[in-house]
Structure 1
């Protein structure tokens, strides 16, 4: 254990998109902070320990600054970064676990603008949030980042190791990044540093150094101290702390530094020491906050599905470039586009959607008084701005997706008039799956759609279902289901292919049951006095769980293609809810829709939808951004096992059989049973239960104190007669993220494939996106551990590029296709990452 030989003080501001003020205001202030930092640095040009140095904690404000900066400002920034006076980090914002891998890639892609401006970016700094997706490791390495600083907030969770320390985090593909698990950045204010309170700072830093010197597991000879806090405007006051500290002889010297310089020193010392190497998910304790705004999170997830569909259909249209879409004369949502965007507009609008998705997926949910003053105008205004990111993304992505459908349908010289349900498949595989569609603006219909890879189909409109009849049992295709409203849901679901019962009958409630958790009225748990004490240091509280039950017979409707059973139940303290289970003749999936009306309530509560699957000795394979991990075993130590924020899919499996389960709208789950408030260090599994955690208000600061609203929450699952694999989970989740797009349509249609082929389609996930000047980028994601020799082909004239490329295990490669009338290279443009 070396003695502490120096103290590095890192000046920065913690970047919240909101919290201290409205996101509408804060985002612009952060852009202006860049110019203020340049002014302060230029005014302090003499090298010395207390010279002004600064780290931009996230990349977004610097990117926004570069958009409008004059040449002298850009040059000053480049020079100060080159001199080591300023560091620019590589995280776009401080993100939650909501964003998917394509959103993370959009964030990392933005770093190209920094490097083009001469700004090296090597480190990602992440503050406040208690976790980050495992796929971040591979994505960060592809983006040229090899270090991650996690300044964890200790509220509502635990760090994987004592803060501070360092370790190597290994990604699914074997790449590693060095992680500095730092102290909470808020100590910069709490200890008096950012305000120049030299007495308080001296006392707190001395205690910190003494503690580090006594730790046998701390193999570093330096102490890193944050001089920052939430949205702090940069000032030189923290430099007084350096001068005061160094005025006392006998102490380890203190100096300012950037995060890059600090990580250079810490990483070098870690390389010589025996520090841990860990694999797995950094499951976020703070993710329960995603359940504080169920409706807006669902809107955000819809928006990104539209975004993926839009970029694919519009990219394919660039390559085909033929036909005349059926334009409308009214700006109406049941009609087609009234005009077509040119290529530059398409590229710009897709980038706007990316930006809004990332701003919503950022970690700041509300203001610092949202929980303490839930009815204040400021709290409502703040949430309006935050929620606006989801709705802006939804509006624009949906409009782009509709335009893409109309353009792709007509984009061939042999298009003929079609009238029915237009279906677009935005993925590399042929798909057969249920779709919902609005018919004549008056009813919704459901049908099983078939569509070729990257292709178009037109299907007959679904007929209205016949009148319902009372009953408790339906059989269709692969399954037979029995519903008992008195037990809240499905009490038997048999896979007719092998006779296996899929519902655990030892659980007291049925599948699809709504379970409401409340705190007993006489509860004396500390969280009842302070929401901050819903925390591992105070296990509990014990929740009462109320299963929603009904007494009326379910209603059955049936056609040749599908059968539905609908039942109603009364959740505790809520209006009656409606659940509908649907079975299909042609496909082996089961759909469950939950229609819920939620009044506002300030008392602590949770609402879950239960899926008690009969899978003995299960393993839970969880889809996170860019990876699949085994809950409980492929996680960093002490990360959240009470709840998880997934992308869309889970595999519930043993060595014999399993279930593929997914949610379109809801990211939060508890697996193996109910775990709220356990603060468990190991995953206690009572059975194959997946509990979808719709909503909760177990918070204390900026998450919403209550929520209300009416919404349908959608689930899809399927039985597997063999063990479920991580690759299957990955594909299943992607298909929920990118469902077949369907809408009623009358106009020109060229049914069939578009001309784009990706091979081998069963080992890759492909993303298509127009990038301007007649170019279309195809990104290939390898869902397995072994490299894949892939090929991207265009079957038709007028397109150059494409060709073979090797996609690394759990990695990514790019192939660019060019419309021949655009200026394009004559050889394939490929890049493996």
Structure 2
């Protein structure tokens, strides 16, 4: 060891909101930690604690600072600002350690909060860090850059995850979707410094496995010396190009750790003895990046997505995640309908943003959720986590209600003429279906629906005086009337539901062969009749769907091209459930721990749903609905409702599940095996960035599963199939079998054309996932086919339009609004 090394320590407290304590208690902890840091620095600067000289502290995220500012005195805030300006306290401008569940608008808003605070206080901050989480959407990089964050330190945790580039402790330039660059340090675990035993009375070793692990009788300082020199020597052996290396360190080796200046005592002792060879220095996050940017070593550039290995936590809480996704749609609709924030309630809107961000925080439960699922604290934290989604939905629903009320929405009224306003909130023209609900006690022109439904009412476009094609279905509490309408971007239209003015003549029995006296329709097409209705085939202007008696959907032919939309290598039929269970041969936690990055064990038992009943439950002017009932292990009910529209190339699918309780590790998948397997390209979207899974990615990143926002597109040169994901954002790519985990590279790009599954449930993590997946669930998907040469961005925007739909509400028109 010929040259002097520097080890730069960055002292912080990793924020896990809910893993080690109640969420609100953790909030108090971090407020008190910052106050404690101020007292520590006071003692150092006044000479009271000379042994702690050199101590600095980095706030891991702006959320910590935000809570401190809300719960501190003016004097404490002024001291905090002073120490930030002096370079003794630093602020990472990330907001929290997040999953990819958060959308780009909420992310941008919360990152801007930190940026605005730093700008107001004239703090020269341009760096951010995260800890624990294992990836970030490509859009995250762009949003950081747009908020003045040009340096990013990633401290990944490789438990069920892995760092990218096949190597840690290395920098790279992350090129954003718009061509900007963020300097990234692809770092080690966020408590690497603790592994060097730099804090008194250390008795935990989590990452380093050596002969000292568990040997707490040996002198601690001797372990520090041995480990530090070994670590540096290994860097030299691996050809590490710098003479410095960063290491994050916590006050104690736990999450949500308190600050601890006593590290300085051991650091000073080490530097006095070994400072000519290796020297420790505590620095702030921003200072570290100043050091790095002054180096002359060439740094490579990579562009693309960095999929999060820990995004799958949402699959352990499918019910609140569905509520959260609904809140996200209402948030976007609120912005589209009220872009200037004049119609809604700003306090509802702002608090909804906060709740949306809190649910997207990466912690998915208490640390013993799997080992002790009965534990009171486990259940307390689970309900609190779900409450973020519920609160977000409630708040943004109230805001949207305010917006719609100011646009003329009427509350329930007796004997109201059935006028409705339809609004296209989107930036593009939309032709789609929307619906209104008529309560069971409401009349139409003085008559009640009872069992009349179709043939009783009609939907009229008041502006164009045109009858719109419609279909009625009875649901609990009344009837839904669905109709097709075309609207320009941002256009509003008035419709009325009325009794049919000119009732059609009664029908008579056809003389053509189509159904026997037994009432069964089971004839195949014959010359002169090509669209017979039966339980084997559904045929519209756009699709021909063929069913198998045991597996469900066998073929989905796009008439525009004649191509089967189902992947030629499909193992399972579309929407036919696949259930996995890994038997427990050790204990509930250990069985999960040894799964690594597979999310299942080698002995996983896999069951595929078997079709037990199929029935056509609706057939009208707008759509045909097929109900398929399946038998699937792990469930008491698995039903697929396939609604195939006739005039638009749209298919709406609802999967209804009654899930049983199981403590063993589980997964439940809904197959989406589309694409031709050769010529199609798969595009996805998250946090506003469009990317091709397994292609547009940082090398060495995850290619097994993804958390998407609005959906995905199977794009061919002659047709594009959009799949809008309404309730569940997780998809898997490739085989379901236990397998070697490949990391992204040029040779894995072919996986972009592999099989897709919607991953709706899992409970595989051994610590903090919700283990009980039982209950009733409903997951919605929409398929839409386009043969136009549209960009991936336009097609993904169509997925968002499908998820958000048109806005339709009861409305009493003014005199001049009706012709």
For this structure pair, what is the TM-score category when the shorter chain's length is used for normalisation?
Answer: 0.7 to 0.9
**Deviation sequence 1:542-601 (CA, Å, 0-9, x none):** 544322112323224111122211111111121121111112233222111111111221
Say which is worse superposed, 509-518 or 128-137, in terms of deviation. Answer: 509-518
The secondary structure found in structure 1 opposite 2:7 is strand
For residue 697 of structure 1, the aligned residue among 743, 763, 780 is: 763
> How many Å separate the matches in 2 of 1:3 and 1:706?
56
- 2:315 aligned residue: 291
For residues 17-416 of structure 1, what are the structure 2 equivalents within 5 Å?
17-45=17-45, 50-111=53-114, 112-161=116-165, 162-195=167-200, 197=202, 199=221, 200-216=223-239, 218-228=240-250, 229-249=254-274, 250-269=276-295, 272-315=296-339, 318=342, 346-409=345-408
Shift of 1:201: 3.9
| 1:600 to 2:661 alignment | yes
**Deviation sequence 1:585-643 (CA, Å, 0-9, x none):** 33222111111111221112211111222413132212121211111121112211111
**Deviation sequence 1:370-413 (CA, Å, 0-9, x none):** 122112111000111111100100111112112211212369xx
For residue 669 of structure 1, the aligned residue among 731, 734, 738 is: 731
> How many Å separate the matches in 1 of 2:190 and 2:182?
21
> How many Å separate the matches in 1 of 2:479 and 2:376?
38
**Contact 2:682–2:713, Cα closer than 8 Å, also in 1:** yes
**Contact 2:692–2:752, Cα closer than 8 Å, also in 1:** no
The secondary structure found in structure 2 opposite 1:552 is strand
- 1:472 aligned residue: 536
The secondary structure found in structure 1 opposite 2:30 is helix
- 1:621 aligned residue: 683
1:98–1:42 CA distance, 2 compared to 1 (3 A): same
For normalisation by structure 2, the TM-score amounts to 0.81
| 1:457 to 2:493 alignment | yes
- 1:503 aligned residue: 566
The secondary structure found in structure 2 opposite 1:247 is helix
**Contact 2:172–2:301, Cα closer than 8 Å, also in 1:** yes
**Contact 2:8–2:280, Cα closer than 8 Å, also in 1:** yes
**Uncovered stretches (5+) of structure 2, i.e. residues with no partner:** 203-219, 411-415, 440-476, 501-518, 522-533
For residues 428-439 of structure 1, what are the structure 2 equivalents within 5 Å?
428-435=427-434, 437-439=436-438
Number of corresponding residues: 713
For residue 482 of structure 1, the aligned residue among 524, 539, 546 is: 546
Shift of 1:741: 3.0
Shift of 1:129: 0.6
> How many Å separate the matches in 2 of 1:727 and 1:275?
31
Shift of 1:146: 0.2
Shift of 1:159: 0.9
> How many Å separate the matches in 2 of 1:258 and 1:196?
25
1:73–1:600 CA distance, 2 compared to 1 (3 A): same
> How many Å separate the matches in 1 of 2:163 and 2:131?
13
> How many Å separate the matches in 2 of 1:18 and 1:539?
25
**Uncovered stretches (5+) of structure 1, i.e. residues with no partner:** 322-340, 412-416, 753-833
**Deviation sequence 1:506-537 (CA, Å, 0-9, x none):** 53432221111233x5x879998442222159
> How many Å separate the matches in 1 of 2:719 and 2:105?
31
Shift of 1:437: 4.8
Instruction: Tell me how large the CA RMSD over aligned residues is.
Output: 3.0
The secondary structure found in structure 1 opposite 2:633 is coil
> How many Å separate the matches in 1 of 2:435 and 2:549?
26
**Deviation sequence 1:334-384 (CA, Å, 0-9, x none):** xxxxxxx7xxxx222211000000000010111111122112111000111
Shift of 1:50: 3.9
1:108–1:316 CA distance, 2 compared to 1 (3 A): closer
> How many Å separate the matches in 1 of 2:612 and 2:765?
35
> How many Å separate the matches in 2 of 1:383 and 1:84?
39
**Deviation sequence 1:139-177 (CA, Å, 0-9, x none):** 111101101111000111221132211111111111111
**Contact 2:103–2:688, Cα closer than 8 Å, also in 1:** yes
**Deviation sequence 1:291-322 (CA, Å, 0-9, x none):** 1111111111111111222233344673xx8x
- 1:793 aligned residue: none
The secondary structure found in structure 2 opposite 1:409 is coil
- 1:647 aligned residue: 709
For normalisation by structure 1, the TM-score amounts to 0.80
**Contact 1:472–1:565, Cα closer than 8 Å, also in 2:** no
Say which is worse superposed, 550-559 or 564-573, in terms of deviation. Answer: 550-559
| 1:541 to 2:546 alignment | no
The secondary structure found in structure 1 opposite 2:634 is coil
**Contact 1:63–1:114, Cα closer than 8 Å, also in 2:** no
Shift of 1:433: 2.3
1:660–1:251 CA distance, 2 compared to 1 (3 A): same
Structure with the greater alpha carbon radius of gyration = 2
> How many Å separate the matches in 2 of 1:398 and 1:572?
37
> How many Å separate the matches in 2 of 1:739 and 1:179?
39
1:384–1:463 CA distance, 2 compared to 1 (3 A): farther
**Contact 1:492–1:501, Cα closer than 8 Å, also in 2:** yes
> How many Å separate the matches in 1 of 2:268 and 2:73?
35
> How many Å separate the matches in 2 of 1:186 and 1:245?
19
The secondary structure found in structure 1 opposite 2:44 is coil
> How many Å separate the matches in 1 of 2:4 and 2:807?
60
1:737–1:751 CA distance, 2 compared to 1 (3 A): farther
